[in-house]
Structure 1
């Protein structure tokens, strides 16, 4: 056995917080790193975590979760050799496709999907949740991939999953989509 200490996630975060100290100010580009780390540790530790979209993480495309949307998952499975991360929200009847950050800025209106980025947030289910109740990972998050926007747009146009989430999201978020 090595002399390195074995920390729990909570102990690790406390040690990191204490090592910075009150007089230290993080670099401007690292200001929210601790927040991001805490969020992902919470997801890994079997509790959901709310994370901001955009930045260096991901944006999200929201669609209906009907049978036609499952066909889109199958197409992306083929395109990617296994679809990037997709969350199913059975309560709302939606799929959340995690796409590369910045996708929202380039997303043109689409009749079957809405793309959201900063300043919006999403609650990620625990990594271990692969079935309901509540939102779950239809396709688990993998560190090496997000869902590619081009093939996703094309497949959504081809299969047309509805109803579109535009009106429901506009009402919930108070924005035009």
Structure 2
């Protein structure tokens, strides 16, 4: 009686074969190079940890204004317009509000006397989703997965309400940009 032993390729062997069969196109796409970091960031946010996020890409850009009474009037106006304003972070230390706006907004944002719009390569630190009061940055309007702050109504609200002081000079100094 003859017994035949068959060996089956391991999972690693199968994966390596698939990679090799892809030929020169087996390299990850350039836009996927930082997928690991994006996933880690989103998991940190979901786990209620403070985390740094690169602006732009597929997530969001940010509009920066002062956080005084006038800016709070703009938040109230956006509450009316949106049926509850999209995500806004207040940073009491800097005296700024960070309005999370759709990705690509920086490319169409015209200069504004009372606000600045930033995108990549800048980063923002998102507070834990459960941080809704100071100390430190907190969610003045919580982040919801289904909305961001629309730029056209925000721009109009800021032009109407004119929150002061404008962030331009302080932001330029923080970023090391000569004025």
TM-score range, shorter chain: 0.7 to 0.9
Partner of 2:107: 105
CA deviation after TM superposition for structure 1 residue 25, in Å: 4.9
Matches of 1:172 and 1:163 in 2, distance apart? 15
Matches of 1:59 and 1:147 in 2, distance apart? 10
Q: Which ranges of structure 1 fall in alignment gaps of 5 or more residues? A: 1-19
- Return the index of the structure with the highest Cα Rg: 2
Matches of 2:150 and 2:169 in 1, distance apart? 25
- SS at 2:64 equivalent: strand
Equivalent residues in 2 for 1:1-177, closer than 5 Å = 25-175=27-177
Matches of 1:139 and 1:81 in 2, distance apart? 12
Between stretches 123-132 and 39-48, larger displacement belongs to 39-48
Matches of 2:51 and 2:161 in 1, distance apart? 31
- SS at 2:39 equivalent: helix
Matches of 1:166 and 1:115 in 2, distance apart? 10
Q: Which ranges of structure 2 fall in alignment gaps of 5 or more residues? A: 1-14, 20-25
Partner of 1:13: none
Partner of 1:4: none
- SS at 2:78 equivalent: helix
Query: Could you tell me the TM-score, scaled by structure 1's length?
Result: 0.83
- Let me know the Cα RMSD of the aligned residues: 1.8
Alignment size in residue pairs: 157
Matches of 2:178 and 2:147 in 1, distance apart? 29
